[in-house]
Structure 1
């Protein structure tokens, strides 16, 4: 078992550990006070048991590289990376917001169809930002989404992929690489569909003992159903974000007509 570093320990002479705020399969996340500025920072440590595993180290370094390429107010900002006695760390900004998973399960927060579509709109903006930088998140889930009022933040880039292929036109890249990029893009779209479906189910109370398909259990506008089916690849998968935005706009308009 990897034991978290004790509260009060100072890392890299600058970051005093306040408490542990997360632990994943390959990282431990600490809330720290930056002693020079007195501001809160987040420090992520590669689990000690993983530091001799080349694959895990490569994933950790990839996350650092990806974060270093990003500059968006709704995504953590990378400050620095450092090592100490063979242990690997990086430092990022602290986002003071609630985890969407905790909001749903502990605070019992629910989202109606309109609110769910609005969250998808914000998430789509962030995914569009990433894809324009040839970055694919690959781990879009409610634990990796923070919410503050109606503002949405995206975290945890541990599984993200960066398109390192130097060519950007389909004529220049091999068909296999192009297919791989499309699959990564559509994986993010699929994950967005699952998040939307999850949010929509927060207002659902089961009256049937027998589980039914979501198309029967949820009462949704047909435009929202169509959007979901394409995101989840039940119908023809989306090829780009522009297509999603068109259908998302139609779903928003359908809800406006109801009111």
Structure 2
């Protein structure tokens, strides 16, 4: 049985847990290597992810590894890579071997045919809808983290940065690290501040209190997210529709049917 000290010790032919024979290296990152492997008892081909214990412990990512495993245990879906087995120490696990490689290699070769793009889109949305329904949020979904099997079906992988529903705080947001810089939505890049507003009179449920958070997308384009903190909901919507929006009509994006008309440099989210 192999030593669990480090992924650096892996060699072709090594036997893990008296069960999996290690084959060729399929890929590697900063903290882990993925190997082609064979179940000695059944002959099943699997992918074995071996974590570099020393590096992971040094930078304090044990909880992230445990979270990835917990998430994969929750999900059984045709378009998500399946987890088969985990070592007690959490430093390697066996999962479904997906033969077709990264989806990134597929899309980098050129534009997909409409029928193929539609098929992939449906599979991706089906998987996202499924794990969202289980309280799981991938948060690093990109072509490099999507694999293709031998039939051309998508398999979502790498849930290392994912979050579970119970990591939400009272503000409803996920506060653990998230995403790859090249794929992160621009509205999370820079926060300018918060403006707090309060009604001058007592309403049906006390004074109306509103926060307006301002985000800079570009120097010429900002997003303002307006949130009711206290007071009556009907009074809040009345303020937005009859007070806030009309007073800012010359500097916001407005919706007219299916068209979006840009007037200047701000958007109000209500």
Aligned residue in 2 for 1:3: 8
Aligned residue in 1 for 2:250: none
Aligned residue in 2 for 1:98: 101
Q: Is this contact kept in 1: 2:167–2:174, CA < 8 A?
A: no
How far apart, in 2, do the equivalents of 1:113 and 1:97 lie? Answer: 20
In structure 2, the gaps of 5 or more residues are 1-5, 187-257, 259-265
Q: Is 2:111 the counterpart of 1:110?
A: yes
**Cα distance change, pair 192–154 in 1 and its aligned pair in 2 (3 A):** farther
How far apart, in 2, do the equivalents of 1:129 and 1:87 lie? Answer: 25
How far apart, in 2, do the equivalents of 1:36 and 1:236 lie? Answer: 61
Offset of residue 4 of structure 1 = 5.9
Q: Write the mapping of 1:174-189 to structure 2, written as runs, cut at 5 A.
A: 174=170, 176=171, 178-180=172-174
How far apart, in 2, do the equivalents of 1:193 and 1:152 lie? Answer: 23
Higher relative contact order (CA 8 A, sep 6+): 1
Q: Write the mapping of 1:144-183 to structure 2, written as runs, cut at 5 A.
A: 144-148=145-149, 149-164=151-166, 174=170, 176=171, 178-180=172-174
In structure 1, the gaps of 5 or more residues are 167-172, 195-225, 227-233, 238-259
Aligned residue in 2 for 1:257: none
Larger-gyration structure (1/2): 2
Q: Is this contact kept in 2: 1:7–1:17, CA < 8 A?
A: yes
Q: Write the mapping of 1:182-197 to structure 2, written as runs, cut at 5 A.
A: none
Q: Is this contact kept in 1: 2:27–2:33, CA < 8 A?
A: yes
**Cα distance change, pair 91–113 in 1 and its aligned pair in 2 (3 A):** same
Cα RMSD for the two superposed structures? 3.7
Q: Write the mapping of 1:1-259 to structure 2, written as runs, cut at 5 A.
A: 3=8, 5-53=10-58, 55-82=60-87, 88-105=91-108, 108-112=109-113, 115-148=116-149, 149-164=151-166, 174=170, 176=171, 178-180=172-174
How far apart, in 2, do the equivalents of 1:192 and 1:57 lie? Answer: 24
**Cα distance change, pair 14–2 in 1 and its aligned pair in 2 (3 A):** closer
**Cα distance change, pair 87–191 in 1 and its aligned pair in 2 (3 A):** closer
Give the TM-score of the pair, scaled to structure 2: 0.57
Q: Deviations over 1:72-97 (max 9, x none)?
A: 122122222115xx781111121232
Q: Is this contact kept in 1: 2:64–2:161, CA < 8 A?
A: yes
Q: Which has the higher helix share?
A: 1
Moved over 6 A (4+): 234-237
